[in-house]
Amino acid sequence: MKGFTVIETIIVLLILSILGLLWALPFISFPAEVARIESVRDAVQKVLPGKAEDIMGQALDINKTIAVKQTYNKFWWADRFIPDGWDYIKKIDVSR
């Protein structure tokens, strides 16, 4: 029985590293997403009602993202790939 060669071992380690990075990416980018959500939340509060179309569109897109992440976090097969912090983020109030 032949063992793994050095090249085969390097390829396997490279593949495992890439898979680990792909799994960790949502967790690494989560703080930046929260900062973006909070900046849009602040902008929604400060913008004048007549000039709010662009910022309201961004807020609605973020609300959709929050809803999707919270929904997927309820499924066992997706929960491993989505940070639990999404469960604690409230949607942006756009009812002005």
pLDDT for 1-43, tens place per residue?
467 788 888 999 999 999 988 888 888 889 999 999 999 999 8
Q: Confirm whether 70 is domain-assigned.
A: yes
| Segment among 37-41, 46-50, 58-62 with least mean pLDDT | 46-50
pTM score: 0.72
Phi-psi sector, 82: left (phi>0), alpha (psi -120 to 50), beta: beta
Q: Confirm whether 95 is domain-assigned.
A: no
| Total domains present in the chain | 1
Q: Which domain holds residue 37?
A: 6-88
How many degrees, rounded to 5, is the angle at CA 65 between CA 54 and CA 59?
Answer: 25
Q: Confirm whether 96 is domain-assigned.
A: no
Q: Confirm whether 79 is domain-assigned.
A: yes
- Residue 70 and residue 57 in contact, taking contact as beta carbons nearer than 8 Å: no
- The whole-chain average pLDDT of the chain stands at 87
Q: Confirm whether 27 is domain-assigned.
A: yes
Q: Confirm whether 77 is domain-assigned.
A: yes
What pLDDT, on a 0 to 100 scale, did the predictor assign at position 96? 63
CA 19, distance to chain mean position in Å, is 17
Taking only Cα atoms into account, the Rg of the chain, rounded to an integer number of angstroms, comes to 20
Q: Confirm whether 58 is domain-assigned.
A: yes
Tokens of 86: 């999404």
pLDDT level of residue 95 (50, 70, 90 thresholds):
confident
Candidates 89, 80, 94; CA nearest to 35 is: 89
